[in-house]
Structures are given as C-alpha cells and as structure tokens.
Amino acid sequence: MFSRGMQDIYSGLRPVDSPYALFDHDLQHRNMPFEFPVCCPIHGGADLYYSSIQMPTIAFGTGSKWKGQDVTVYVQQAIKLGFVHLDSAQFYRTEQHVGKAVQESGLSRSDLFITTKYSGLGTARWAITGSLDNIGVKSVDLYLIHNPRLIADIAATWSEFEKFKNEGLTKSIGVSNFNLEQLQKLVKGSSIKPAVNQIYFNPYNYAENKELLAYAAKHGIVIEAYSSLSPITRFPGGPVDEPINAAAKRLGATPTQVILAWVRSKGVAIVTTSSSEAHMKEYLHVADLRENLLRLRDPLSLADLGTIPLAALTEEEIAAIDEAGAKGEPTDLELGLCCRQARQGLLSYSYISMLILFAIYVAVMYHFVTTFLLAPSSSPQ
C-alpha cells in the first residue's frame, strides 16, 4: 500500500491504455492524449490500489423534465433495455423512484452504477445520508457536487466529500457544472481529485470547452455530458444540422445517434433520458455504447439492439460538425424564422388538405345529383 503522504490520492477516471487496466501512478505525470475507454475505471487511490470499478459511458438521467415526478416505470424500462448507469440528484427529487426501480429489477447491486448529486440543500452529510436512504443502498458509485453556484464553501464541502469516500459512502467523488477555473482551483487544493465533471456539452459549445476537456484529460478527470441533443431538441435548423444529417445518411443512422457518436469521439461520457422505448434503443445502438453494455452484463441479445452496430464517424465528419458548431447556436431570430417556416409549411399542408377534401365533396355531390335527381324516370308511360 502507498502512503497518503507519498502521493496524491486520485479518485479519478484514468486515461488508461486498457479499459481494465489498474491505476498506474505514472499516468498522472504523463501528458498523453486522452482516450476515454468504453468502460472507464474509477480508481480509489492508494488504499484501493488493487481494486477498481468501471463507469458505463452512457447513463439514464432522471433530471430534466423528470424533476419531482415518479420515474419508476421509466427507470425500470431503461434497466430492462440495458442501461446500467443511473443518474439522479438531491434536487431532482427522483432518488426514491430510482431506488424502487433498482430494488425491483432483480439485479445485484454490483450490476448497476448509481450516480447522485449534492444540490446544496442542507449539509453535505445530511444530504448523502438522505440520498442513500432514498435509493436504499449503503453506498453510491459516484457522488457529485451538483453546481458550484449552489455551494457556499466549495473547499469545505469537498473536504466532506473526501470523508464520504474514505468512509465508503461513495466509491468515487466528482463535480458538475464546474468551469475550467473552478476545476483548476479544486484540483490544486484537494487531496482526492474529482473523478468526473458533468457539464452541459454539445457541438455548439465544444469550442469554448476545449481547454476544459484538455485539462480534464491531463488530470484523469472524465467529462460527462448532459443535454447533448440540444441541437435537435432546442436549436433545430442550426449550422450543425447539415453535417449531422449528411453523416446520418451515410451511416444509415439517425441524427440523434450521430450526435451521441460525436460526443463519444471527444472522449466524453453521456447522460441522456427518454420515456420512449424506441428512443432508448436508439441511444444504445451507438456502437461503443452497446459494447459498453455487453462488457458489463448481457441483458439483451444483439438482435434486440439491431444486428449491425453503427460504424464510426470519419475524421472529416467530426471536423465538419466541429466547424459548424463553432458558428454558434442559431439566434432567436433564426429559430423564429425556422418555426415560422414550419408553421407556414403546416398551414400550406392544411390548405391543400382542405382543397382535396372539398374536391372529394364536390365529386360525391355531383355523383349523387346526376345519379338520383337528374336520372330519367323509369316509370311506365
């Protein structure tokens, strides 16, 4: 065992050569390109030198539109389809529903990776105790500071997080919504480094996050993305639509799958959600995400997710999406124009439909009049 006085204790996801490699202390001194493995080991530091856990690179999220709602059915459906990473938070008020779905899944605790977050409500100690009670587990796999804006004293809170990890209440600790400066300050002043920084990430803000991604890679901190599908859900009609649609056509994939594949090409993990079974399968069909599931357990046959995995995006396609995303999100005016054009298209469609219905009505009436009202009388003379 290594002494804490001899080295920094990292609770981080390492840029390792193999998805299953154990912690290599020399990695923290290398300035190597970051490759996010399909299943990324989270290493507990010196005291857990010979053990590791693995974080699936796609998580089923229970925030967003689900805040305060009973998501039990959707979490159960996600688990059934193959999601093994579940993401919640104190603020979402969905932890108890995640817990219920986990308890009823029939899976052992080790089959699932559970993330939740401290959202600044009450003390950190009170919050993690409540979260564990809500979920019905003795520990979570990853515990995050939800947002630095919700925390009065980040250094003191992180010190508590380090205690939680040492006490076994969580296997790893991390942060969410930290910018580069905030992450640098935390890393510099901490004993246990954050394993993850979960951020808002998509092609439109990739350029502004390049330095953050590079810094995280250098320090073995995994970036995890939420709202990656914003180009489709929030900003349709923007600059990235063209290269995304072109890649989708080549691959025989959907634009959603192309975006997820693009996120993975940046070495970034994914948090996404849906109430639709079809959409969940669509997410999981992205090639390396499927491999991620099959490495952890085999909940489905390959046929259940499609017989042919999606091919990788080419470097040219990735570069085209990068370049388009650097132009920025469409403005409110552009979005308004897009919506107006859509409305105009809908109105045109409705107008044409009305004309067709009117023509059918006229034809029917003409047939009725000529057949029954104007026909020669057949009565005897």
Active site residues: 92, 146
Q: 267: left (phi > 0), else alpha (psi -120 to 50), else beta?
A: left
Hey, is 284 helix, strand or coil? helix
Q: List % helix, strand, coil for the chain (3-state, nearest 5).
A: 50, 15, 40
User: Which whole-number Å values give the CA distances from 7 to 25, 44, 183, 313, 366, in the listed order?
Assistant: 9, 13, 20, 39, 92
| Cα–Cα dist 97/9, whole Å | 34
Q: Which of 51, 48, 61, 44 is nearest to 20 (CA)?
A: 51
User: Which whole-number Å values give the CA distances from 224 to 105, 264, 322, in the listed order?
Assistant: 25, 10, 18
Token pair, residue 107, equals 């899976």
Token pair 């065992």: residue:
1
